[in-house]
Amino acid sequence: MRYLGFAVVTGAAMLLGACGGGDKAAETTPEAPAMEAPAAEMAPAAGAAQAITGTIHEVKMIGDATYRYEPAELTVKAGDGIKFVFVSGGPHNVAFDATLLPADVKTQLMANMPNQASELMGPMMLAAGEEYTLSLAGITPGTYEYFCTPHLAMGMKGKITVTP
Ligand SMILES: [Cu+2]
């Protein structure tokens, strides 16, 4: 019973401590909705897929002695697209790590990537000749990395640099 009593006192002290923190949280709460509002307003405009208006570049997906995209690094203009072509050694796909992308690029890529198996992950391609075309229209200029989910550990990665 003594221990129980002690626990109750400790609990009460923690509650008091929590109340102290609560006051600070209450002071900052009004700012939170204001910060979220602009993002919510931007979402509908950036959420629409944008079609390719420029050149379509080809990247081969190869698995033989090594697993790789060819070319692994590609510079494109905003509005261009990339056609990934399965050549050998699959399954292959194209996936982006959301944590490495600016918020606006993530939103636009999610809109532009057809048939996503999950967020920012293209469908698994199983046979030679299969293609996956990705539009880079509306993507803010920058360099973005992608990878093949099944072969990430084998270093199957690529880099797309989008220029204005
Ligand atoms: Cu692969």
Instruction: Output the tens digit of pLDDT for each of the chain's 164 residues.
Output: 444 444 444 444 444 444 444 444 444 444 444 444 444 444 445 579 999 999 999 999 999 999 999 999 999 999 999 999 999 999 999 999 999 999 999 999 999 999 999 999 999 999 999 999 999 999 999 999 999 999 999 999 999 999 99
Which of the following is catalytic: 57, 92, 121, 125?
92
Catalytic status, residue 151 = yes
pLDDT of residue 40: 42
pLDDT of residue 145: 98
* Residues whose CB is less than 8 angstroms from the CB of residue 15 and which lie 6 or more positions away in sequence, other chains included: none
Ligand 1 center from residue 51 Cα (angstroms)? 26
Ligand 1 center from residue 77 Cα (angstroms)? 25
Ligand 1 center from residue 108 Cα (angstroms)? 24
Which of the following is catalytic: 61, 113, 121, 156?
156
Catalytic status, residue 148 = yes
pLDDT of residue 14: 41
Ligand 1 center from residue 135 Cα (angstroms)? 20
pLDDT of residue 36: 45
Strands 56-63 and 67-70: antiparallel
In the three-class reduction of DSSP (H, G, I as helix; E, B as strand; rest coil), residue 55 is classed as: coil
pLDDT of residue 74: 97
Write b or e for each residue in 144-163: b if 16 or more Cβ atoms lie within 10 A of its Cβ, otherwise e: bebbbbbbeeeebbbebebe
Backbone φ, ψ for residue 81 (5° rounding)? -135, 165
pLDDT of residue 142: 97
Write b or e for each residue in 121-143: b if 16 or more Cβ atoms lie within 10 A of its Cβ, otherwise e: bbeebeeeebebbbbbbbbeeee
Which of the following is catalytic: 57, 121, 125, 151?
151
Ligand 1 center from residue 114 Cα (angstroms)? 18
pLDDT of residue 58: 98
Give the DSSP letter of residue 125.
Answer: B
pLDDT of residue 47: 75
Could you tell me the two tokens for 66? Answer: 């090594």
